[in-house]
Chain A
Amino acid sequence: MIGYTLTPEEKDLIQGQYYTPYQFLNCVQDINGVWFLFLSDEDKPEVAESQYYFILDLPEAEYIPPTPPPFPPTE
Chain B
Amino acid sequence: MLFPFSFIKTGGFDPDAQAFFDRVTTAGGSLTTTEKNATKTLVADLKAAGLWSSMKAIYPMVGASAAACAQNLKSSSFTGTFSSGWTFASTGVTPNGGSAFMNTGLNIGTELTQTNSHASFYSRTASDSGAYPTVIGAYGNGSYTQAIDLYIRRPTPGDKGGGQLGSFTTSVINYTETDARKFAILSRTSATSLKYYTTGILRDTNTTSDTTGFGSVTAYIGAGNFQNLSAQNFSILQCAFASIGDGLTDTQASNFYTAVQAFQTTLSRQV
Interface size band for B = 20 to 34
B147's nearest neighbour on chain A, judged by CB, is A72
CB-defined contacts of B27 to chain A, threshold 8 Å:
21-22
- The reply to whether B169 and A75 form a contact with Cβ atoms under 8 Å apart is yes
Q: CA of A68 to CA of B231 in the docked complex: distance in angstroms?
A: 12
A27's nearest neighbour on chain B, judged by CB, is B99
Dominant SS among interface residues on chain A:
loop
Mark contacts of B95-113 with chain A using CB atoms, 8 A cut-off: 1 yes-contact digit, 0 otherwise. 0111111000000000000
- The reply to whether B83 and A40 form a contact with Cβ atoms under 8 Å apart is no
A47's nearest neighbour on chain B, judged by CB, is B84
The residue from A24, A41, A63, A71 contacting B83, defined by CB atoms under 8 A apart: A24
- The reply to whether A26 and B99 form a contact with Cβ atoms under 8 Å apart is yes
- The reply to whether A22 and B83 form a contact with Cβ atoms under 8 Å apart is no
Interface centre among B27, B85, B96, B144 (most CB of A within 10 A): B85
- The reply to whether A28 and B67 form a contact with Cβ atoms under 8 Å apart is no
Mark contacts of B53-86 with chain A using CB atoms, 8 A cut-off: 1 yes-contact digit, 0 otherwise. 0000000000000110010000000011111111
The residue from B88, B99, B231 contacting A38, defined by CB atoms under 8 A apart: B99
B164's nearest neighbour on chain A, judged by CB, is A72
Q: CA of A20 to CA of B70 in the docked complex: distance in angstroms?
A: 12
A28's nearest neighbour on chain B, judged by CB, is B99
Q: Is A45 an interface residue (CB 8 A)?
A: no
CB-defined contacts of B232 to chain A, threshold 8 Å:
71
The residue from A23, A63, A71 contacting B81, defined by CB atoms under 8 A apart: A23
CB-defined contacts of B67 to chain A, threshold 8 Å:
20-22
Q: Is B34 an interface residue (CB 8 A)?
A: no
Q: Is A43 an interface residue (CB 8 A)?
A: yes
The residue from B84, B97, B98, B131 contacting A71, defined by CB atoms under 8 A apart: B131
CB-defined contacts of A34 to chain B, threshold 8 Å:
none
- The reply to whether B143 and A40 form a contact with Cβ atoms under 8 Å apart is no
Q: Is A37 an interface residue (CB 8 A)?
A: yes
- The reply to whether B87 and A22 form a contact with Cβ atoms under 8 Å apart is no
- The reply to whether B99 and A23 form a contact with Cβ atoms under 8 Å apart is no
Q: CA of A75 to CA of B87 in the docked complex: distance in angstroms?
A: 37
CB-defined contacts of A24 to chain B, threshold 8 Å:
81-84
Interface centre among A36, A47, A72 (most CB of B within 10 A): A72
- The reply to whether B168 and A38 form a contact with Cβ atoms under 8 Å apart is no
Do A37 and B99 form a contact, CB below 8 Å, given A23-B66, A68-B132? yes
Mark contacts of B17-34 with chain A using CB atoms, 8 A cut-off: 1 yes-contact digit, 0 otherwise. 000000000011000000
Residues of A within 8 A of B (CB): 1, 3, 18-28, 36-43, 47, 63, 65, 68, 71-73, 75
The 5 closest A-B pairs by CB, nearest first: A26-B83, A22-B66, A22-B70, A71-B132, A28-B99
Q: With A1-B96, A26-B100 given, can you name 5 additional A-B contacts, CB distance below 8 Å?
A: A3-B98, A22-B66, A38-B85, A40-B87, A43-B85
